[in-house]
Amino acid sequence: MDAPTPASGFHMADVRRKRPSERRAVAVGELRAGPVGFAALAGKTLPKGDALAMAEVAGLQGAKNAAQLMPLCHPLSLEYVDVRCVPVPERHAIRVYCETSLTARTGVEMEALAGASAALLTLYDLTKPVEPAL
């Protein structure tokens, strides 16, 4: 028997009857850092240090904590997370890739999106002192 829908209308998706399957998601985002910000990012000369390395760590944390950020997101035991920050010199940009995967009853795209977002926010935060017009 299914539980009744709460009065608020909000509820997590019921995945109990779904079979676990291999799930994988990749999210991609980009920060256009401008010429000064890009040079500082790529040269690892920002005031707070190596923002690319810090963004990759923040992306891992973001993916692992997606369910804490989004109330209806299922908490998942991720089996793999990879976050990469790739300089794109011709655009003065940093492209962020976040890949997540696991075997589960529900998808893993929110974790990939949360990871990419956390990495991009970290890049923004650490770059704005040298490129205030970000």
Which CATH number characterizes residue 35's domain?
3.30.70.640
Q: Which domain holds residue 57?
A: 22-127
pLDDT at residue 1 in the model: 56
d(CA 134, CA 77): 35
Integer-rounded Cα radius of gyration of the chain: 18
Residue 1 lies in a domain: no
pLDDT at residue 11 in the model: 79
pLDDT at residue 7 in the model: 72
Residue 12 lies in a domain: no
Q: Is 62 exposed, middle or buried (0-12, 13-18, 19+ CB in 10 A)?
A: buried
Cβ-based neighbour number of residue 78 at 10 Å: 18
pLDDT at residue 5 in the model: 65
Q: What HEC string does 15-67 produce?
A: CCCCCCEEEEEEEEEEEECHHHHHHHHHCCCCCCCCHHHHHHHHHHHHHHCHH
Residue 29 lies in a domain: yes
Residue 70 lies in a domain: yes
Residue 118 lies in a domain: yes
Tens-digit pLDDT profile for the chain (134 aa)?
566 666 778 878 888 899 999 999 999 999 999 999 999 999 999 999 999 999 999 999 999 999 999 999 999 999 999 999 999 999 999 999 999 999 999 999 999 999 999 999 999 999 999 998 88
Count how many domains the chain has: 1
pLDDT at residue 28 in the model: 98
Residue 75 lies in a domain: yes
Residue 4 lies in a domain: no
Residue 73 lies in a domain: yes
Is residue 50 part of the annotated active site? The answer reads: no
